[in-house]
A and B are shown apart, each in its own frame.
Chain A
Amino acid sequence: MSREATKPVFSEKIDDWLLGFYNAFEFVKLVFKEAFSGDFEFNEFVRQCYHIGLRSLPLISLTGFVTGFVFTKQSRPSLMEFGATSWLPSLVTIAIVRALAPLVTSLICSGKIGSGIGAELGSMKVTEQIDAMEVSAVNPIRYLVVTRVLASTITIPILSFYCALVALAGCFLNVTVNEGTNLYAFFEKGFDSIVFLDVITAVIKAVSFGFTIGMIGCYKGFNASNGTQGVGKAANSSVVLSMFLIFIEEIFIVQVTNWFR
């Protein structure tokens, strides 16, 4: 293929990417503007908290418990080589609080909630429900987006905390069966190794992951097109993009907080 033939396609892709980035930035700006102006849709916010939070509990419970249980089981042989199985509660607690709880919760939620928001808003977009809201003089960004983004930003840290507790329960079960450690000793060892910065880091991560999941789901849903195919694409790309950004944020936050250790 000649150089002349490939050049426009490549530049068009860069144009599309930059335009997408600009549109996303404008969307985030608009959401912030609407969040601080006019009436807050409290009932819709509570409904979204219920959908995002309460309905995710069974999945988070299962994932958290299995993570704690399996992580403990897989770590034991390595610690056993050094005769350090008594360090299991500390090792697992650090791993869960610092990294696993917010990350696992957010990855689960980006699949469950991000795709749900993307598909719901995408479907509303292609069936003109968002236009209907706008011609009724109701601000769809305030009603649909601000409530969802806020709900995911608030509920995902709570779910992460819950996930950490359930994962520690999984770890305790494994440790108590194998090493006979009692609950008091388990938590004493576990929490002795945790410092305030670990908790703050986990909260910052969970809040930023929650914000990302809600915002990406809403942005993709709001920009869905081409009928049902567009709805599927919006749901799919919500998950892919939010997972990608969660990993980027994870690396960034870990780097920054490690400067303070």
Chain B
Amino acid sequence: MEKTIEIKDLYKSFGSLDVLLGVNLDVYENENVVVLGRSGTGKSVLIKIIAGLLSPDRGQVKVFGQSVPDLDKKELNALRLKIGFSFQNSALYDSMTVRENLEFPLVRNIKNMTRAEIDKAVEEVIDGVGLKKTLDQMPSELSGGQRKRIGIARTLIMNPKIMLYDEPTAGLDPITCQEINDLMNEVKERYRTSSIIITHDLTCAKETGDRVAVLFDGKFKYQGTFEEVFSNPDPRIRNFYDYNFIESKLQD
């Protein structure tokens, strides 16, 4: 299988705060990689660098063989059309209806589309996330789970080849979490995407990840399948597992 994302020896710091200290990660075609780690360890920074929202201090970030930090604005925008980014707080445009949110990237990136073609594309993605009734609602009228789904639908309308999910299940109840996990798996199958899923929810990691990478001290200390990573005797891994296990039991 071909590599879609290649990260080599990536460093990033903010002032005196070192966040990423030599990160290495490869993501292959049609693979979901879950990135785990405690809050503030730089998980979101990593995917923002991949999407070109932040620049690395040094190291290599390649997406479809193109070095992201070396791209000019036009090339970066062309690459971004192949990348879907689902934000932690969904980042829906407050002043627009759901329909306008979904149309927004489409009408600005694909010229000369007819109204019928736009409507068809909108209906296709909204059907895919099962929220057709919300089309004329404002984002403020939606629940947290609905906002996440619409956020994902807005990225899917451009038919991306890579999906970057930032904390897709954060702040949601267990049933909605399950629905989002199912949606991410469905997206992978239907759109044949490669994904990086940032989370600290182990249920999400187990259900969606083909591979899990754990970020400690600015590096991926452990990578492998969920079972491989969590059979490791490292006390930090054990603590992570135990806490999630207790938390999910309490939620049950």
Contact across chains for B53 and A136 when beta carbons are under 8 A apart: no
Contact across chains for B94 and A129 when beta carbons are under 8 A apart: yes
When distances are taken between beta carbons in the complex, the residues of chain B under 8 Å from A131 are: 48, 53, 85, 87, 91
Any chain A CB within 8 A of the CB of B81? yes
The one of B52, B78, B104 that contacts A136, using a Cβ cutoff of 8 Å: B104
Any chain B CB within 8 A of the CB of A257? no
Any chain A CB within 8 A of the CB of B80? yes
- Count the A residues whose beta carbon is within 8 Å of the partner chain — how many? 15
Contact across chains for A128 and B104 when beta carbons are under 8 A apart: no
Interface centre among A120, A123, A124, A127 (most CB of B within 10 A): A127
Q: How many A-B residue pairs have CB under 8 A?
A: 56
Any chain A CB within 8 A of the CB of B83? yes
Knowing A123-B94, A129-B94 touch, does A135 contact B83 (C-beta < 8 A)? yes
Q: Which A residues are closer than 8 A to B by beta carbons? A: 120, 123-124, 127-129, 131-138, 143
Contact across chains for B105 and A136 when beta carbons are under 8 A apart: yes
When distances are taken between beta carbons in the complex, the residues of chain B under 8 Å from A137 are: 77-78, 80-81, 105, 108-109
Q: Give 9 nearest A-B pairs by CB, closest first.
A: A136-B105, A132-B91, A137-B77, A128-B91, A135-B85, A137-B80, A128-B87, A138-B108, A135-B51
Majority secondary structure, A binding face: helix
Given contacts A129-B94, A137-B81, 11 further A-B contacts (CB under 8 A): A120-B95, A127-B91, A128-B89, A129-B91, A132-B92, A132-B154, A135-B51, A135-B80, A136-B104, A136-B158, A137-B77
When distances are taken between beta carbons in the complex, the residues of chain B under 8 Å from A135 are: 51-53, 80, 83, 85
Task: Tell me the nearest residue of chain A to B96, going by C-beta.
Answer: A129
When distances are taken between beta carbons in the complex, the residues of chain B under 8 Å from A136 are: 80, 104-105, 108-109, 154-155, 158
CB distance from B148 to the nearest CB of A (A): 13
CB distance from A172 to the nearest CB of B (A): 40
